[in-house]
Chains A and B, each alone.
Chain A
Amino acid sequence: MSEADIGVRLTDPSRLPTISSETQLRAVLASLAGVDAVGAEARVAKLATRSIKTSSKRRALDLIVSMIDLTTLEGADTPGRVSAMCAKARRPDPRDLSVPSVAAVCVYPDLVEGAKRHLEGSSVAVAAVATAFPSGRASLAVKLLDVSEAVAAGADEIDMVIDRGAFLSGRLGQVFDEIVAVKAACGSAHLKVILETGELVTYDNVRRASWLAMLAGADFIKTSTGKVPVAATPPVALVMLEAVRDFAESTGRVVGVKVAGGIRSAKDAIRYLVIVNETAGATWLRPETFRFGASSLLNDVLMQRLKQTRGAYVRPEEFSGD
C-alpha cells in the first residue's frame, strides 16, 4: 500500500520495533501519552451531531453493509441457523441486487466448516472466534489448538481474546507472547485481537492494549466480545482509531479496527463512520480496515435503505430475522 493510499505520513516500515523483552515492551507502552478522557468524550459528542445529507447517507448505508461481520455467537447456534445467516450474508436483500454482500460471517469454530461450504464462491469471509472465547480463561496450549482447528476448518479470519486478567495485573509480556503465538498459529488467516475494552476500565489501558496488540502482530484490533455489559462505545473507538493512525505513521503498518457489540441502528453506525473519517482518515473507510461486528444492525440498515427508495417508513418484517 502506497503512502498516497493511506493518507498518513508513513515512515520506513523497518522502523517497526521488534520487541525482544518485557522491559522493552513496558518502555514502549510507557512512552504513550495518556488519553484526555473528557476531551475524547466531548469530541465524539461533537462528531455525533454532524448532519449527513441524503445522498451521502445512501453511500454510507451501502458502505456499512459491506463492513459488517454478520455475527452469531450463541450457545443455541445450529448449522441451520448458520446456513440461513450465510445466505443473508451473500445477498442481504434478495429483492435488490445493488445491496453489497457483507464482509464476513463470524461464528464459533465448530461451525466454520459449514459456513465455509455455504459461502463458497462468494466474497464473504468466514471469521471464527477462538482462544477460549469469550473469557480467554484457558491454557495457551488449549487456545492454540482452538485456533489451529478453526484455521484447518477453513477460517479466513480469527478473532482472539486477550487475557484481560494478565493485562490488568501487569503481566504484559504474557499477553504479548500469547498474541505472537496465536498469530503464528493463524498462518495466512487474518488475526483480530479483541481487547474487551469494557473490562479494561480506562482509556489509557485501551490505548496501551491497542499498541501492545499491534506490536505483537494483530491485523485488526477489536473492541469487544459482545458478552459483557459495556461493549463498543464511540470514545473507545476514537482512542483505538488514534492508536492505529499513530501506529501507521510511526511504523508503516496499517492495522484495522473492528467495533462490536451494541451497535443496532444505522444512525449509530453512521456516527462511527464519521469518527473513522475524522480520526484515522477516509482511507480507513474500507472493509479491509474497518468492520462492524453486529447482527441486528444489518436489518436496520436495510430498512433505512428501503425507506429512502420507497419514501415511506417500512416494517421490520420486510426482512428475515435471525
Chain B
Amino acid sequence: MSERLDVRKTYKLVINGAFVRSESGRSYEVRHAAGDFWANVAQGSRKDLRDAVRAARAAQAAWWKATAYNRGQVLFRLAEMAEARRDELAAHVAAAEGVDAPSAASSVARGIDRIVWYAGWTDKVAQVLGGANPVAGPFFNFSLPVPSGVIGVLAPQDSSFEGFVDTVLAPLATGNAVVAVTSERRPTPALLLAEMSVTSDLPAGVLNVVSGLTGELGPTLASHEDVDGIDLEGAGEHHDELAASAADSIKRVRRASAGDYAESSTSRLRSFVETSTVWHTIGR
C-alpha cells in the first residue's frame, strides 16, 4: 500500500460568510515559533478590507435587530463548535506561540470559556450599561446602549486565540459587525475560529476575518470612513499614527491595553456602544 499524500491546506480569509483567497492573489508563509514552516495563509489586501467593510455594513442592522437572547445563542453555538475542535486549536496555539501542550490547551479552554462569557452578556449589557434616569417631569427617561456599527479590530499580535476571542467577541456581543485583522505572524488559530463562525449561524458578514501584514492593513482600516470604531490592540509601533488617522473620520478608538486577556472585565463591552436616550410619557 502506498503512502498517503498530505492533504495540505491554504488558510483563507472569511469575508461575507465565504472562504476567499485574497483578491490580490497573494499568500504568505507562517512559521512555527521555532522557525519551521507551519502553513500558507492568504495575505489580505486593502481591497479585501474594503469588501469586508461593505459586507459588515450590510449585515450589521440585521444582527442588531435580532433579539439579544438570539445573539447569545448564536455566540454560544460558536463556543460549542470550538469545543469540538479544542485539540486542533490547541495544536495551532502551541505551534504559533511556542508554548507547551498543556499551556496551549488551557489557553484554548480559557478562550472558549470567554466566548461563553460574552454569549451570556448579550442580553445583560442593557441592564448594566443602561438605566432609568430621574427627570423633572411626567416622563420616563431611559439610557440604552446601542452598537456603534462596524468595528475594525487589529487583533493582538501575541495571544493568537485568547486575545483574538476577547477583542472580537466583545463588539459582536453588543450588536456590532466586525472586520478583524489577525495577528500577522500567528494567524491560524484566529482563522480556524473564523471558519467555525461561518457554520455557527452567525449571519454572513457579521464577522469578517482578514489575515495579512498589519502594517499594510492597519492604515486602511483606521482611515476607512465607513468604520465606526477601531480596536488598536495589535497595532504595534504604528499605534499612535493609526489613532490619529482614525480621528479624521471621528471613530471610536480603543487604544492598546496591557493585554491581560484572562481577566474578566466588561471594559471591552463598553468600548463600542453608543448611548441612546429615550423619553416616554408616564401613563395613568
Contacts and interface: CB of A to CB of B under 8 A. Distances in A.
Contacts of A37: none
A312 B248 CA distance: 10
Pick from A312, A313, A314, A315 the residue with the most CB of B within 10 Å: A313
A79 interface: no
Interface stretch (B111-119, B180-188, B222-230): B222-230
A259 B50 CA distance: 27
A39 interface: no
Pick from A311, A312, A314, A316 the residue with the most CB of B within 10 Å: A312
A153 B106 CA distance: 77
A88 to B, nearest CB: 21
A315 B225 CA distance: 5
B220 interface: yes
Nearest to B248: A312
B51 to A, nearest CB: 11
Nearest to B226: A315
Contacts of B57: 316
Contacts of B220: 312-313
B80 to A, nearest CB: 35
Interface string A115-131: 00000000000000000
Pick from B220, B225, B245 the residue with the most CB of A within 10 Å: B225
A231 B205 CA distance: 27
A311 B245 CA distance: 11
A315 B50 CA distance: 11
B235 interface: no
B58 to A, nearest CB: 10
What does DSSP make chain A's interface, helix, strand, loop or mixed? Answer: loop
Interface in B56-110: 57
A311 B223 contact: yes
B249 interface: yes
A301 B214 CA distance: 29
B219 to A, nearest CB: 9
A57 to B, nearest CB: 13
Contacts of B249: 312, 315
Contacts of B50: 313
A312 B223 CA distance: 6
B52 to A, nearest CB: 11
B250 to A, nearest CB: 11
A312 B230 CA distance: 15
B243 interface: no
A318 B224 CA distance: 13
Nearest to B53: A313
Nearest to A316: B226
Contacts of A311: 223
A310 to B, nearest CB: 8
A313 B219 CA distance: 11
B225 A314 contact: yes
Nearest to B219: A312
A11 B224 CA distance: 54
A61 to B, nearest CB: 16
Nearest to B223: A312
Contacts of A315: 225-226, 249
Contacts of B248: 312
B55 to A, nearest CB: 13
Contacts of A318: 225
Interface in A302-322: 311-316, 318
Nearest to A314: B225
Contacts of A314: 225-226
Contacts of B53: 313
A314 B225 CA distance: 5
A318 B226 CA distance: 10
Contacts of A313: 50, 53, 220, 223-226
5 contacts: A312-B245, A313-B220, A313-B224, A314-B225, A315-B249
Interface of A: 311-316, 318
Given A312-B225, A312-B248, 19 more contacts: A312-B220, A312-B223, A312-B224, A312-B245, A312-B249, A313-B50, A313-B53, A313-B220, A313-B223, A313-B224, A313-B225, A313-B226, A314-B225, A314-B226, A315-B225, A315-B249, A316-B57, A316-B226, A318-B225
Interface of B: 50, 53, 57, 220, 223-226, 245, 248-249
- The 5 tightest CB contacts between A and B, nearest first, are A312-B223, A315-B226, A313-B224, A315-B225, A314-B225
